[in-house]
């Protein structure tokens, strides 16, 4: 079946602009995660959803970052007033139930470049 | 401070030989460890995992060893194949933390024919 998909694959924007990154998880997966991978680093947790609700958003760096999952499937990560330091690959992952013991299936990521 | 550390940014191994990738952690609350493999322009894919109640888990050519007293784990690949060339991430999780994986920085493995 289809894996996790993310759009766009690449996004170039200017400092101060607003961006939206989309994630389509594997159908039926309850849990959805967002991670950010900066150059030379491992993925860093941002937020995860259990169904429609954000169960843990402790990884969001500041209030410019926000994510939604209104119908418990597709999720959108929103970044306001982008800064050059936001440049990174944003990874989305999903898993069948909410448990760290379930394999998380990752999408290919969205590469965000803020000029 | 990094809770999961992969101190070798890269490793080069000859095809057919053993690859050993190392990972250290600082948080004694971690009770489950995973290895992910990542090819360029793709997301990480799960490779193998180990619970803290075990000291070894094997899956085909891949074996993970856990030394809790040393807070150290390693991934062994035998025999190494050119298709194993990728970045390998060590990750850890605290039981009941609801899915938040803590990743190391990764080790780039190159397997030469």
Q: What is the pLDDT of residues B2-51, one digit of tens each?
A: 899 999 999 999 999 999 999 999 999 998 999 999 999 899 999 999 99
- Of all residues in chain A, what percent carry a pLDDT higher than 90? 82
Question: Per residue in A50-63, is it b (16+ CB within 10 Å) or e — as a string?
Answer: beeebebeebbeee
The arithmetic mean of pLDDT across residues B84-106, rounded, is: 87
Which chain B residues are within 8 Å of A98, Cβ to Cβ?
98-99
pLDDT bracket for residue A59 (50, 70, 90): very high
Which chain A residues are within 8 Å of B101, Cβ to Cβ?
33, 35, 43, 45, 100, 104
pLDDT bracket for residue A37 (50, 70, 90): very high
- Of all residues in chain A, what percent carry a pLDDT higher than 70? 95
Contact B105 A91 (CB under 8 A): no
| pLDDT tops 80 at residue A18 | yes
The answer to whether the beta carbons of residues B29 and B41 sit under 8 Å apart is no
Write out pLDDT tens, residues A85-107.
999 999 999 988 755 566 889 99
pLDDT attached to residue B100? 81
pLDDT attached to residue A92? 97
Q: CB-based contact (8 Å) between A25 and chain B?
A: no
pLDDT bracket for residue B96 (50, 70, 90): low
CA-based end-to-end distance of chain B? 38
Q: CB-based contact (8 Å) between A107 and chain B?
A: yes
| pLDDT tops 90 at residue A114 | yes
> What does the mean pLDDT of chain B come to?
94
The arithmetic mean of pLDDT across residues A76-80, rounded, is: 98
The answer to whether the beta carbons of residues A33 and B93 sit under 8 Å apart is no
pLDDT attached to residue A98? 57
The arithmetic mean of pLDDT across residues B87-103, rounded, is: 83
| pLDDT tops 70 at residue A63 | yes
How many CB atoms lie under 10 A from the CB of residue B81?
Answer: 13
What is the Cα–Cα distance from A69 to A51, expressed in whole angstroms? 8
Question: Where does B41-85 have alpha helices with state H?
Answer: none
From residue B103, give the alpha-carbon distance in Å to each of A26, A41, A81, A89, B6: 22, 9, 27, 15, 9
Interface test mutation site (partner A, options B1, B2, B47, B99, max chain A beta carbons within 10 A): B99
Which chain A residues are within 8 Å of B4, Cβ to Cβ?
42
């Amino acid at each position: 079946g289809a894996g996790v998909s993310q759009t766009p694959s690449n996004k170039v924007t200017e400092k101060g602009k607003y961006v939206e990154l989309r994630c389509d998880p594997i159908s039926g997966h309850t849990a959805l995660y967002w991670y950010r991978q900066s150059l030379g680093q491992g993925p860093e947790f941002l937020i995860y959803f259990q169904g429609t609700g954000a169960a843990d958003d402790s990884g969001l760096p500041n209030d410019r970052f926000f994510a939604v999952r209104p119908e418990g499937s597709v999720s959108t990560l929103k970044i306001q007033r982008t800064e050059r330091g936001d440049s990174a690959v944003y990874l989305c992952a999903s898993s069948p139930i909410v448990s760290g013991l379930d394999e998380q299936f990752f999408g290919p990521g969205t590469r965000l470049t803020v000029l | 401070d990094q809770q999961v550390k992969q101190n070798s940014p890269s490793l080069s191994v000859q095809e057919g030989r053993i690859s050993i990738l190392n990972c250290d952690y600082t948080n004694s609350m971690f009770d489950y460890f995973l290895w992910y493999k990542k090819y360029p322009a793709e997301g990480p894919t799960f490779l193998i995992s180990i619970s803290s109640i075990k000291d070894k888990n094997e899956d085909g050519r891949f074996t993970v060893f856990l030394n809790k007293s040393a807070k150290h784990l390693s991934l062994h690949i035998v025999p190494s194949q050119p298709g194993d060339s990728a970045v390998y991430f060590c990750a850890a999780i605290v039981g009941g933390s609801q899915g938040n994986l803590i990743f190391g920085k990764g080790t780039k493995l190159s397997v030469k024919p």
